[in-house]
Every structure is written in C-alpha cells, then in structure tokens.
C-alpha cells in the first residue's frame, strides 16, 4: 500500500507494535509522528527512519500532550490522516483485593483515557480535512475476564466501546474507526505477563506469540480501501481469514 503524502500519528511508539508500525508506515511512504513517554527511544527511532519522522516525548494520559501532538503533525506535515492509539500498559497485574488504587487508575488513564485524548484531539482536524482513520489496539481481554488483569480488561473493554462510539458519531464525516485485536505479541508486555505467573497467558511459550510486525502490517492494511467493509468493527489477527486478507499467511 502506498502511503506517500499521508501523515500518521502513533502513540506508544518507543517499542513493540508502535515502533514496528512506525517503520512499516514509513516504509510505505508515510510521514510519521512518533509519540511515547520514552523521549530518547522515539528520538532514536525517528533518527533511524529519517526526515519523514518526528519524535515527541509525551504522555497520552494528559490531554494537552495529545493536543500538542496533533498540532505538531499539522504544523510539520500539513495534515493528519491516521491516528493509531497504541499506547498501553499491562500493570498492575494483581488481584482486585490487593491492587494498588493509584496504579490501577494510572492504567485507566493510559489505556482508556489516553485513547479518548487522542480521538478528541484528532477528530476536529480530520473533520476539517474531510476524513481520516482512527485505529485502536484492542485485545481478547476486552471481551474475556482474566485473573489479575482487572485494570487491563476494563480499559480494553472501554476502548472497544469508545471505538464503536466514534464510528457511530463520525462515520458520516468520513472518519474510519476500527479496532485491532492482535492476539499475543512478542513484546516487552509479554515478558511482564510471563514474569507475573498469573493466569494462563503467563504460561504461554515465547514461540506462541506473533512477531510485532504482523499487527503493524495489519494496521497499514486497515488504512486501505480493502478494509472498508470492516469499518466500525474489531479485527482479530486470530482469525485466519483476516490474516490471509492482510497477507500474513
């Protein structure tokens, strides 16, 4: 897919799916705005990609940071075509009876409110431009309760509903909202899950996880007209038919 001339803002771009998405979209010709709390890591990735990449040290849990990120995309590249709300945390992994309330709330601030902040900042610019794509990272945990993951499951369930609400409100204005449930991915998050020893996901072997470039390539495909029949839905990479459509099999 050719993304030449398009601008993509990616949150949580310092590692894992976000970093791979930066590489994949840039390779397709897009300008990429890479955002993460780890300013040094996104700066290194932007340097690797080249002049079509901009790095921003920012925190999605603060609306002002997302507002500034969208403005940076507009100032630097003239528009914003795609927002990928990827930033997320798995911690705290803990029983509800023992979870630290502050850490639990911080997970909601990043995983759910952070996605809202991105949408809220991006939608007015996309409306003015006549449309765009807003893609969120979902999870099987959005639909299935897991021991020790109350914050993660709740925030991902909220994100799935938030994406559905966005589709309901903005599809008529040309904004394409979709979620991607990638399954388990070989990233740092899976190392944290493994170390916890809690629930069946922590027992998976590393070879069970898909590489992070698979969801990155799926996100690129979701920006194409080939995915238009899936607007407003959640796409799962566990679905073999979807993998075939994306070109992963």
Q: How far is CA 189 from CA 100, 102, 195, 201, 230, in A?
A: 19, 20, 10, 11, 27
- CA-nearest of 3, 25, 22, 1 to 13 is 22
DSSP bridge partners of 8: 32, 82
Residue 178 in 3-state DSSP?
strand
DSSP 19-81: HHHHHHHHHTT-EEEEEES-HHHHHHHHHHH-TTEEEEE--TTSHHHHHHHHHHHHHHHS---
Catalytic site positions: 152
- CA-nearest of 170, 185, 168, 172 to 219 is 185
């Amino acid at each position: 897919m050719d993304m030449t001339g398009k601008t993509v803002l990616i949150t949580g771009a310092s590692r894992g799916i976000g970093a791979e998405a930066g590489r994949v979209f840039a390779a397709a010709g897009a300008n990429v705005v890479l955002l993460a709390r780890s300013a040094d890591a996104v700066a290194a990735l932007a340097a690797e990609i080249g002049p079509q990449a901009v790095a921003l040290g920012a925190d999605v849990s603060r609306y002002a940071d997302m507002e500034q990120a969208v403005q940076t995309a507009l100032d630097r590249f003239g528009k914003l075509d795609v927002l990928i709300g990827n930033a997320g945390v798995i911690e705290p992994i803990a029983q509800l009876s023992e979870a630290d309330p502050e850490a639990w709330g911080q997970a909601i601030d990043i995983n759910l409110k952070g996605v809202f902040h991105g949408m809220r900042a991006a939608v007015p610019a996309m409306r003015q431009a006549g449309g765009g794509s807003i893609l969120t990272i979902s999870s099987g945990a959005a639909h299935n309760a897991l021991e020790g993951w109350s914050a993660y499951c709740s925030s991902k369930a909220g994100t799935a509903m938030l994406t559905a609400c966005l589709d309901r409100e903005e599809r008529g204005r040309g904004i394409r909202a979709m979620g991607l449930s990638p399954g388990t991915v070989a990233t740092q998050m899976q190392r944290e899950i493994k170390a916890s020893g809690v629930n069946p996901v922590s027992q998976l072997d590393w070879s069970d996880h898909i590489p992070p470039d698979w969801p990155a390539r799926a996100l690129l495909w979701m920006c194409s007209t080939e995915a238009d029949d899936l607007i407003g839905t959640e796409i799962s990479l566990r679905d073999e038919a979807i993998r075939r459509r994306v070109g992963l099999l």
